[in-house]
Amino acid sequence: MATSRPYSSHSTAPSAPELPPQSYDHHHQPPPPQQQHQSYYGQYPTPSPPPSSSSSYGPSGGGFPAGTSPDVIRAFQMVDRDRSGFIDEYELQQALSSGYQRFNLRTIRLLMFLFKNPYDSLRIGPMEFAALWSCLGHWRAVFERFDRDRSGKIDLMELRDALYSLGYAIPPSVLQLLISKYDNGLNFDSFVECGMIVKGLTEKFKEKDPGYRGSATLSYDSFMSLVIPFLVSYD
């Protein structure tokens, strides 16, 4: 889809366009834009692939990135009962519940897809788990920042501001679609689900738009391949 104004020619990755102020209630002002490194497509890095050596680990936490918190290693090891060095979606759901909250299986499947192991699409290893855990910590901080009434949920305007702070200027019509299935706002699980859909689809679209123009031409096959993984993540 086309953007409303041209991108800066001197930026490596274009910054998020301004939001149309007339589209929103004046009591909800968007947060100030981030630094120039923030992209229209979002700035959170794609997790690094696992090392070429074995992903298995021992008491020292081998397979995890250097500096990984012992709590993260412990959460992974507690659910990896066969000591294979990999966990499936149900084990991931159990592991995350020890550090955050119990996530819906739909959200877990989205996380598995976005942080998947290139060598095993049905399981993730220590590298992917550490990146996923770090990402959730970042998104948790964003959620708490924009849950201004401390209700444990965010509404449409708070969702807009939260996604904007992450680099995604989402049109009002898309926001309405995202939040339409939630009657009473989004808790953290739902926020991660919505945010990961936006993040994942944006990153997939960005692959088709190497010039960062905000538009791309896709074949039918490419479009289906881009969208279907996010649909089949649902029950």
- Which sequence spans correspond to the domains of the chain? 70-136
Task: Quote the CA–CA distance of 15 and 12 in Å, as a whole number.
Answer: 9
Task: Quote the CA–CA distance of 208 and 216 in Å, as a whole number.
Answer: 6
Among 150, 209, 162, CA closest to 7: 209
Place of tokens 């990896």: 80
- Is the separation of the CB atoms in 40 and 212 below 8 Å? yes
Q: Whole-prediction pTM value?
A: 0.69
Please list the ranges in the chain whose pLDDT falls under 70. Answer: 1-62, 98-100, 232-235
Among 131, 142, 230, CA closest to 186: 142
Domain 70-136, CATH among 2.170.150.20, 3.30.1330.10, 1.10.238.10, 3.30.1180.20: 1.10.238.10
Task: Quote the CA–CA distance of 54 and 71 in Å, as a whole number.
Answer: 22
- Token code pair at residue 198: 């936006």
pLDDT, residue 116, reads 86
Torsion of CA 7, 8, 11, 15, to 10 degrees: -50
**Beta-carbon contacts of residue 235 (< 8 Å; ≥ 6 apart):** 105, 106
- Is the separation of the CB atoms in 179 and 171 below 8 Å? no
pLDDT, residue 58, reads 46
pLDDT, residue 181, reads 79
- Is the separation of the CB atoms in 202 and 42 below 8 Å? yes
- Is the separation of the CB atoms in 43 and 34 below 8 Å? yes
3-state DSSP call for residue 186?
Answer: strand
| Class of residue 117 by CB neighbours under 10 A (exposed 0-12, middle 13-18, buried 19+) | buried
What is the number of helices (H) and of strands (E) in the chain?
A: 8, 0
What is the chain's mean pLDDT, rounded?
75
